[in-house]
């Protein structure tokens, strides 16, 4: 539930749960945020060409 709420308000990467450690999942969160950013930027680049 926290993950869905965070994504709805604009967080690009979310790991939520009672036993989640951010440092343990940092690589996965980074990859998730990078993928979302690429998807958001691609349409802007195409429109400007």
The pLDDT assigned to 44 comes to: 67
Among candidate residues 19, 22, 18, the one with its CA nearest the CA of residue 32: 22
Domains in the chain: boundaries: 2-48
Contact between 15 and 33 under an 8 Å Cβ cutoff? The reply is no
How far, in Å, CA of 34 to CA of 12, rounded? Answer: 8
What are 9-23's pLDDT values in tens digits? Answer: 988 777 777 767 767
12: phi then psi, degrees, rounded to nearest 5: -80, -30
The pLDDT assigned to 7 comes to: 83
pTM of the predicted structure, to 2 decimals = 0.45
Among candidate residues 42, 19, 43, 39, the one with its CA nearest the CA of residue 31: 39
What are 31-48's pLDDT values in tens digits? Answer: 888 888 888 887 766 677
């Amino acid at each position: 539930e926290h993950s869905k709420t965070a994504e709805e308000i604009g967080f690009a990467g979310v790991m939520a749960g009672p036993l989640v450690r951010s440092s343990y999942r940092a690589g996965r969160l980074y990859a998730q945020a990078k993928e979302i950013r690429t998807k958001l930027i691609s349409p802007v680049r195409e429109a400007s060409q």
